[in-house]
Amino acid sequence: MILIDQIRSYQKFYKKGLQGFHRLNFLLFLLFLFVSKKDALKTMSLPPSHGIATLLSPIAIGDLILPNRVIMAPLTRGRAGHSRVPNDYMREYYEIRASAGLIIAEATAISEQGYGFFAAPGIYTKEHAEGWKNVVDAVHRKNGRIFLQLWHTGRKSHSSFHPHTPIVAPSPIAIPDGFVYDANRNKVDHEVPHELTKEEIALVIQDYRRAASLAHEAGFDGVEVHAANGYLIDEFLQSCSNHRTDEYGGSYENRFRFLQEVIEAVKEVYPPSRIGVRVSPNGVFSGMGSEDNHLMYPYVAARLSEYGLAYLHLMDGLWRGGNTKCPRVTLFDLKRHFNGPLIGNIDYTQETGDGAIRTGAVDAIAFGTLFLSNPDLADRFANKWPLNPPPPLEEYYGLTGDPKENLKGYLTYRPYLEE
């Protein structure tokens, strides 16, 4: 009966036209359910009142039990100021979002070299860790759970953020179009990155381990390795940005090697069950999008599955356009290869998120934009409270290096019972 309910739910979900799914995958998914329904259902809890999981059902992520499957996606907000140290405004921002099943805190630079976004926080000094500890402690006092996203911006950075070191990438290929903000928040052209040597790659891997260690000192429940959106790890994974001919380029195995070494370093600090990975095979942000992503990313999912990670976080929608050079990589494509919780992301609503979970193609949903203006999003879903519209784009990011000048659109939105 559960299987029939899943099929009916998927049909309803499919008719809504959610981006990232198409007719062929629907037929393949039905076959997948009939052939291996136990695997399709194994990460799903089955509350007696519903018979099948929804966004409001609990779930185990590694050895953590989340009270719901409403995940707060990592959201770059640029409120750390010139110091790059988390502050009390950030503490309050995360504290009022603690009802999320899991908070994945914003992308945070693992090193000065890896820094590349105006007023974003870091996690490469003791001062950074102490600032983050105040945030983590506040979330924990509200019985929340919080991971930190580890970030190296790669060729998406600008040398003004770190004048003594160049921007780096697997290959000396600049982002082909658009612009980047420099350290003074001026729009400037993309620079040609320095190609990392093997010795320099080893140093970056050490930076990831050190950042994970500082995150652990700050009390984070786990970390998410940012391997998406055209930043350094994504640049190694994709053939459009990785033209190396050594053991870090060429084959799927070689292009995966950098991410593999990052995972190996991070798991010296956190057990694999407290490590997540985020990927974006369909994205074109920062000049990404390769002809073989539909083959590369199932391979990546299978290799990551060997570790017993907390989760794999797939940006399966069309954020800032979509890669048209190869077939779309769907939740179903990665679910077949990753033996663990899969998180979907981009443009979900409560209805489509519930529908996706009920199909068994995904286990939880990360929400970004909705969390900006609805800090208690899970509670609003549970109580059918109204949702606020998202803030205007100019309030997404901090515009100056002084955090107190950038509170509009950041601490403006309150939990429903405080409104």
| Whether 231 is catalytic | yes
* Residue 349 CB partners (closer than 8 Å, separation 6+): none
> In the numeric block, which tokens belong to residue 233?
């790890």
* Res 225: pLDDT: 99
Q: CA-CA distance, 333 to 293, in Å (whole number)?
A: 11
Q: Are 362 and 342 in contact (CB under 8 A)?
A: yes
Give me the helix-helix angle, 198-218 and 126-141, nearest 10°: 40
Helix residue spans in 16-62 (DSSP H): 23-35, 37-41
Give the span between the Cα atoms of 301 and 204, in whole angstroms. 23
125 burial (CB, 10 Å; 0-12 / 13-18 / 19+) is middle
Q: Is 40 helix (H, G, I), strand (E, B) or coil?
A: helix
Name the pTM for this structure: 0.89
Element (DSSP H or E) covering residue 108: strand 102-109
CA angle 30, 17, 362 (to 5 degrees): 50
Domains annotated for the chain, with CATH where assigned, are 2-414 (3.20.20.70)
Q: What is the end-to-end Cα distance of the chain in Å, rounded?
A: 43
CA 238 to CA 285: how far, in whole Å?
13
- Written as tens digits, the pLDDT of the chain (419 aa) is 333 334 344 344 434 434 333 444 444 444 444 434 444 333 333 333 345 899 999 999 999 999 999 999 999 999 999 999 999 999 999 999 999 999 999 999 999 999 999 999 999 999 999 999 999 999 999 999 999 999 999 999 999 999 999 999 999 999 999 999 999 999 999 999 999 999 999 999 999 999 999 999 999 999 999 999 999 999 999 999 999 999 999 999 999 999 999 999 999 999 999 999 999 999 988 899 999 999 999 999 999 999 999 999 999 865 556 888 899 999 999 999 999 999 999 899 999 999 999 999 999 999 999 999 999 999 999 999 999 999 999 999 999 999 999 999 999 999 999 98
Identify the burial level of 253 via C-beta atoms within 10 angstroms of its C-beta, where 0-12 means exposed, 13-18 middle and 19 or more buried.
exposed
For 188, the token pair is 């400037």
Is 120 within 8 Å of 114 (Cβ atoms)? Answer: no
DSSP 308-328: T-SEEEEE-S-TTS---SSPP
Element (H, E) at 102: strand 102-109
Pairing of strands 180-181, 187-188: antiparallel
- Cα–Cα distances (Å) from 281 to 19, 96, 189, 322, in that order, read 14, 32, 25, 9
Q: 341: closest CA among 60, 104, 3, 33? A: 60
Tokens coding 328: 């779309």
- CA 388 to chain CA centroid, Å, is 23
Please tell me which residue in 93, 94, 231, 270 is annotated as part of the active site: 231
The answer to whether residues 124 and 151 touch, using CB atoms and an 8 Å cutoff, is: no
Per-residue pLDDT at 419: 82
Residue 241 contacts residue 171 (beta carbons within 8 Å) = yes
Looking at residue 201, its pLDDT comes to 98
DSSP string for residues in 223-266: EEEE--TTSHHHHHH-TTT----STTSSSHHHHHHHHHHHHHHH
